[in-house]
């Protein structure tokens, strides 16, 4: 089945590749002197406001650099659709969800539970992690700079597009 398909089927969620990690991974297959040129062209893909424009820019980038940097463009092409998945969501949320860095930060905070030491049982560990997640959720909802704002309802056509994708259809 594969991890991506399992996530779509079981969690009813999209797979996302972090654009920041794409910025780092693709130029690693390019000679150092050409990395700024490739990085700038990649940024032009990720600043597009809609998926069609981004995919057109991505196709241009691949066409431009494929002859010189085949391995880098193969890597980019394999992950660009996953890296652009944030464009399926409301524009107000895109800046926050285009990178997986906040999730990685949360995972790091949760891993600090090891510092606590020995838990009396598994339920105690789960309770502590659960409380940390509840606290983080409250911070994200009520903080001055709320992680995501839910004041605006998404347009109906967006809902129609996102829900089937999340359901793996």
Read off φ and ψ for residue 81, nearest 5 degrees.
-65, -40
Tell me: the pLDDT tens digits for 120-130? 888 888 888 88
Tell me: the pLDDT tens digits for 11-56? 888 788 888 888 888 999 999 999 999 999 999 999 999 999 999 9
Tell me: the pLDDT tens digits for 102-117? 778 888 888 776 666 6
What confidence category does residue 146 fall into, taking pLDDT thresholds of 50, 70 and 90? low
Q: For the chain, which residues make up each domain, given as ranges?
A: 3-88, 101-153
Lowest mean pLDDT among 23-27, 80-84, 95-99: 95-99
């Amino acid at each position: 089945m594969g991890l991506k398909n399992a996530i779509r089927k079981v969690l009813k969620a999209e797979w996302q590749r972090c654009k920041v990690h794409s910025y780092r991974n693709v130029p690693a297959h390019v000679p150092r002197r050409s990395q700024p040129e490739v990085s700038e062209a990649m940024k032009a893909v990720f600043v597009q406001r809609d998926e069609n424009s981004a995919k057109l820019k991505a196709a241009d980038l691949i066409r431009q650099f494929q002859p010189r940097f085949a391995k880098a463009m193969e890597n980019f092409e394999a992950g660009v659709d996953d890296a652009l998945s944030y464009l399926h969501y409301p524009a107000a949320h895109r800046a926050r969800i285009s990178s997986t860095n906040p999730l990685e930060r949360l995972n790091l905070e949760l891993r600090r539970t090891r510092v606590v030491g020995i838990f009396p049982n598994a339920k105690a560990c789960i309770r502590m992690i659960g409380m940390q997640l509840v606290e983080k959720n409250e911070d994200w909802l009520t903080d001055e700079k709320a992680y995501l704002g839910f004041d605006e309802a998404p347009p109906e056509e967006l809902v129609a597009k996102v829900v089937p994708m999340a359901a793996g259809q």
